[in-house]
Amino acid sequence: MPENILTIENLTVDFTVRNALLHVLRGVSLEVIKGESLVIVGESGCGKSVLLKSILGLLEQNAKIVAGRILYRGNNLTSFQSEKDYQKIRGHEIAMILQDPMTSLNPLLTIGYQIEEAIAIHQPLRKVKRKEEVIRLLTEVGMKDPRKTRHYYPHECSGGMRQRVVIAIALACKPNILLCDEPTTALDVTIQEQVLNLLIHLQHKYQLTVVFITHDFGVVAKVADRVAVMYAGEIIEVGTSNDIFLDARHPYTWSLLASQPALYVPGEELIYLGGTLPNPQEEIQGDAFAPRNPWALERDFIYAPPYFKLSDTHQVKSWLMEKRAPKVEPPRIIKEYYQLENWRF
Amino acid sequence: MEELLNLNSISIGYEGKGKIRGLNLAVKNASFSIKKGEIFGLMGESGSGKTTIGRAIMRMIDTVEGDITYKGMKINQRLSTENKRQLCHEMQMIFQDPMAALNERSKVSDIIGEGILATNQSISKIERENRIDKTMLEVGLRPEYKSRYPTEFSGGQRQRIGIARALIMNPQFIVADEPISALDVSVRAQILNLMKKLQKSRGLTYLFISHDMPVMRYFTDRIAVLYHGRIVEIAPTNELFSNPFHPYTKMLLSSIPRPIPIENKQMEERGEIKTWQKSGKLNSQDIDYGVISSELKGRETLRMIERAPGHFVLERIEKPFV
């Protein structure tokens, strides 16, 4: 029986910007199973990063958790009042890796010092032991010649090396959950492959639970056990990797899948989704995706759809799953690419 | 097809300070030609010199040696005002980051109209406004928006402004430097469709610079692969993806994560995923691929060899005794 390590229930987050209230997360419910890698995909601005930040209490001053619970090992993280409470969780239990390694490293300190700092906070070790631990961690993340490289400053490292250092810092605290906010978007493909392989390898070795944000379906396919698709502050489809790639049901998931040029024969016109995300200031009547949805039903504009459970793992938030709804087919290009096993490229 | 642009053993360098004092060559001995009406891709990792080549073609940086010829005219030298003006009309550039490339303090109509205002003063104000409206419509922006400022637009719309600014000059050749990598997934497809449509309707020629290989495969006709400032392989797109010769190209193509879940998982099970650890290589920058140091060994030299029709590969060959 898979055990949930993290449960997010109806999480609602509002931002106050210049006296206007922005509804950024509008009731996110998500379960993270122990030992899995869960990938969250969606357009920029749909609330992916805010979701991860609210888990660790890293939201900006103007953000407020209005409703909902985040349960981790019997603790409700949203009820934490002081920084001190969060400090028990951060790093030690749940660690985070950000997109741009340059912003998470201190440019004035050597990378060895920064890793040692993380060890010193979380483990009572003698100085010599700490040095050994630093070298062990650097070797673990695939740094060449760690005895020398630990004296490097961040600017002396390439982008891939920096991201390895950030991973080493995250590992230093021996976390249970690793949150990764687009860790490879700033990297080249070849380096991206190495960093992803490293993450997969470390996940198996330390039995980490990984929550991963990306918008590259190539990356999703590589790392995901389960995928959650987000739109306008809601999870609209969640399922295993195979559910999402081979049997996606939500029109928004279709449009994300169909927007990859890898699926097309050169010269074919790309299918894309018109329109923009709804204004987060406005209250949304019905389904948030309805105005952009070519298959929208009348009822989509009036009532918000519930989650329809298609299988134990696969849930979709769309009225199209209702018994009385008309049958709709995914775009031809997705069917051709995934269902006929006609894989180009 | 007629040749539009030709690069003949171009080297481009930057002056360094401190440890890297002196001339640092960012591009070494690059030669290729672009035919009229084709989409030519420059592919490579960051730091490989893609943007440097694009900028040298646009005369934004100087070359160290070699010739760049556009329609038979050598352009990497001092030109007469008249010739410069002609190039201004015929060659335009689209930039990577639409947030950074547009002046936040000028109106959209001023941004788009600046090119004709600067190069052709004889055009009347009304005619200029008409041309701005026409171009905005062509790239899918509503002319009503022309008195707005760039901050009021989304990323995709801003990139359309960037494209309109280039198009209004009626160019024949456009250098597109990573035009979609700063955009969101759903917007990328729109901009690619737009660029393809414009290429067909106006008979444009593109130099398309990108590191995104699926986009390259979909969008370009021919591709040159750059590694450490050298072109290691030039081939028609289909040929390159189906039959890469150079070890670096092979490595690059194999590192693309494919959007297919089952296959990747199978690879994992077979243990192929851990090969990088056995090789002990930190990152690709450390691998020579016969490109970085080979010329120093004296007896050898690098040449582009035609391995298949139109498919050129950089290879190391021994110099004959002289």
Which pLDDT tens digit goes with each residue over B3-46?
A: 899 999 999 988 878 777 888 888 988 999 999 999 999 998 88
Q: Does A255 touch chain B (CB under 8 A)?
A: yes
Q: Does A340 touch chain B (CB under 8 A)?
A: no
| pLDDT band at residue B268 under the 50/70/90 scheme | low
Kindly report the backbone phi and psi dihedral angles of residue A104, in degrees, each rounded to the nearest multiple of 5, phi listed first. Answer: -95, -10
| pLDDT band at residue B284 under the 50/70/90 scheme | very low
Q: Do B186 and A245 touch (CB under 8 A)?
A: no
Kindly report the backbone phi and psi dihedral angles of residue A72, in degrees, each rounded to the nearest multiple of 5, phi listed first. Answer: -135, 115
In single-letter form, the type of residue at position B272 comes to: E
pLDDT at B2: 84
What does CATH list as the number for B36-63+80-227? 3.40.50.300
Could you tell me where in chain B the CATH 3.40.50.300 domains are found? Answer: 36-63+80-227
Q: How many CB atoms lie within 10 A of CB B97?
A: 17
Q: Which of A36, A222, A260, A276 to mutate to test the interface with B (most CBs of B within 10 A)?
A: A222
| Cβ neighbours of A224 in B, within 8 Å | 261
E-strand stretches of chain A: 4-17, 20-33, 37-41, 63-72, 75-76, 94-97, 177-181, 209-213, 226-231, 234-240, 308-309, 315-316
In single-letter form, the type of residue at position A44 comes to: S
pLDDT at B121: 73
Alpha carbon of B229: minimum distance to chain A alpha carbons (Å): 16
Sign of CA dihedral A272, A273, A276, A280: negative
ipTM, interface predicted TM-score of the complex = 0.81
- Closest CB to A272 among B186, B218, B219: B186
| pLDDT band at residue B275 under the 50/70/90 scheme | very low
Q: Residue A203 in 3-state DSSP?
A: helix
Kindly report the backbone phi and psi dihedral angles of residue A33, in degrees, each rounded to the nearest multiple of 5, phi listed first. Answer: -85, 145
Nearest to B92 by CA among B115, B108, B111, B75: B115
DSSP codes joined into one string, B267-299: HHHTTGGGHHHHHT---GGG--TTTSSGGGGSS
Q: Does A71 touch chain B (CB under 8 A)?
A: no
* Per-residue pLDDT reduced to its tens digit, B237-258: 999 999 999 988 988 888 888 7
The pLDDT of residue B131 is above 70: yes
Greatest CA span in chain B, whole angstroms?
71
CA dist., res. B287 & res. B250, Å (int): 13
Alpha carbon of A59: minimum distance to chain B alpha carbons (Å): 23
Tokens 């960051």 found at: B46
CA dist., res. B207 & res. B194, Å (int): 16
- Closest CB to B261 among A193, A196, A242: A242
Nearest to B302 by CA among B29, B83, B105: B29
Nearest residue on chain A to B45, alpha-carbon basis: A188
In single-letter form, the type of residue at position B100 comes to: A
Q: Does A189 touch chain B (CB under 8 A)?
A: yes
Kindly report the backbone phi and psi dihedral angles of residue A167, in degrees, each rounded to the nearest multiple of 5, phi listed first. Answer: -65, -40
Nearest residue on chain A to B192, alpha-carbon basis: A270
pLDDT at B183: 82
Q: Of the ranges A49-53, A84-88, B115-119, B289-293, which is most confident?
A: A49-53
Q: Do B218 and A261 touch (CB under 8 A)?
A: yes
Low-confidence ranges of chain A (pLDDT < 50): 342-345
pLDDT at B290: 65
Q: Does A339 touch chain B (CB under 8 A)?
A: no
User: Do residues A162 and A105 lie in contact, with contact meaning Cβ atoms separated by under 8 Å?
Assistant: yes
pLDDT at A7: 94
| pLDDT band at residue B53 under the 50/70/90 scheme | very high
The pLDDT of residue B295 is above 60: no
The pLDDT of residue B293 is above 70: no
| Cβ neighbours of A246 in B, within 8 Å | 261
- Closest CB to A189 among B219, B255, B276: B255
User: Do residues B205 and B172 lie in contact, with contact meaning Cβ atoms separated by under 8 Å?
Assistant: yes
Q: Do A266 and B217 touch (CB under 8 A)?
A: yes
